[in-house]
Structure 1
């Protein structure tokens, strides 16, 4: 077995293992070590991320093989080979595919602590040109966000005394208002749950009421952006889809479940069942189809909640914190920017006006102050209604 084969075996995913098993003719004696490596690697990245990164490795190996690059030069990659690899794929794949391939190769180099040449100016110029040559049809439209209209359509058919409906409603409200990805609060299969990734009934739930505002803090053991878990914060909302009330209703309807059950499991005649993401989305798509609404994905709850809060004038930094973003990638999730940006420009102007009115109201009657506040409240409700 060549040097490259040994390097690849140190970092891969279940799907990529199968491909490399065929390509490299793995020796049976490596089965135990390979299983151990797979278990360790799976804790570092999501399986979907590993599969995406593995695509870059696979295409790189194929390109090297076709162009008869000596195996000892496959890693670390030199700038000339990498530029040629990019140029060869130019015009046939999307810009995001280039990014995914190179992210995989970069991570592979970092994992093995060898130099990465992807930031070289020559390579970057080649990549810039390749992105411009990407076929038009390779660009996927942004996922549509879940809107308040989507939540209201679900609410209209819910029976909150039904254990499944109560759990379903709590999930969608939590995902939307908590800016969570659906896969972070549900399970993806009926396999035994993994307490390191699936939030359980015994999770730390903190019920708060500070300055008259009710909220719940849910400790998630894992998120897409934090392998060590994070706090999901749900506040009381004057909406049908209030996550605070929805979670209360769910925990009341689905009481007496074991501590080891997932947080959004629901009672059945035989005991309890898991809330499976794919099953839930299939049901939701059926509801939204009958209402003539766009069909978002599970990730669209995260996007929709972000868009809604921004549209209401919530501070973008606060939204970024709620959504657990640590980089400017946060801005990629903005939708309806034609509404969001004017709203924040207007809000900044209103705040300046209000600051200037403070001194004025100190000198006028309480009745004038009350009338001003009523006008402000009415304007706020009209904006929220337009956003919905």
Structure 2
């Protein structure tokens, strides 16, 4: 995977290792995006192998195989009948909308994907501060979403002292 990325996309910042392993043997891939919607200087994004259809390593490898973007193209360029095009937010959401229509399910918005990812991490038991950091949540909006989801809140509302740190974090202070 690393050699594929190195070979086809020279605009990635590869000054630091692309694949890293922590002292527990857990693997993570780091990509530096040269610029993002929120940062003109770019930012690092991280992902780790996952089991099943949601493995980002498999998805990225498949994308590179299917679309073969050139080194000068955007990493997430795709094959259009009129040539290679960078994947835009509107095109991505249009593809999701088309897939949802074909499946007979409700369409997702960009915000809905953000919330869905947040919920997935929380349901896996990832600590709240970690999820907040992964999702780049600012301010108290994150806590507001916690209050709306009984499935996430249920384990923490039980009579168990081990859950006190979460209760202190998620519930409003007593006046």
* 2:32 and 2:45 in contact (8 A); partners too: yes
SS in 2 for 1:314: coil
RMSD of Structure 2 on Structure 1 (CA) = 3.1
Please identify runs of 4+ aligned residues in structure 1 that moved more than 3 A.
Answer: 221-228, 252-255, 267-271, 332-336, 343-346, 348-351
* Post-superposition offset of 1:260: 2.7
* Post-superposition offset of 1:233: 1.3
1:163-242 pair list within 5 angstroms? 202-204=11-13, 206-210=18-22, 211-242=24-55
Structure 2: segments with no counterpart, 5+ residues: 1-8, 164-175
Structure 1: segments with no counterpart, 5+ residues: 1-199, 352-388
Residue number among 339, 354, 362 corresponding to 2:151 in the alignment: 339
1:65-214 pair list within 5 angstroms? 202-204=11-13, 206-210=18-22, 211-214=24-27
Larger relative contact order (Cα-Cα within 8 Å, sequence gap ≥ 6)? 1
* 1:201 and 1:263 in contact (8 A); partners too: no
1:301 equivalent in structure 2: 113
What TM-score results when the alignment is normalised by the length of structure 1?
Answer: 0.34
SS in 2 for 1:263: coil
1:23-42 pair list within 5 angstroms? none
Q: Which has the higher helix share?
A: 1
What TM-score results when the alignment is normalised by the length of structure 2?
Answer: 0.68
Residue number among 140, 152, 162 corresponding to 1:328 in the alignment: 140
* Post-superposition offset of 1:349: 6.2
Q: Which has the higher strand share?
A: 2
Structure of greater Rg: 1
1:263 equivalent in structure 2: 75
2:66 equivalent in structure 1: 253
Number of aligned pairs?
151
In 2, the alpha carbon distance for the partners of 1:241 and 1:214 equals 16
* Post-superposition offset of 1:336: 5.3
Seen in structure 2, the aligned counterparts of structure 1 residues 271 and 283 have a Cα distance that, compared at 3 Å, is closer
In 2, the alpha carbon distance for the partners of 1:227 and 1:288 equals 32
In 1, the alpha carbon distance for the partners of 2:149 and 2:99 equals 27
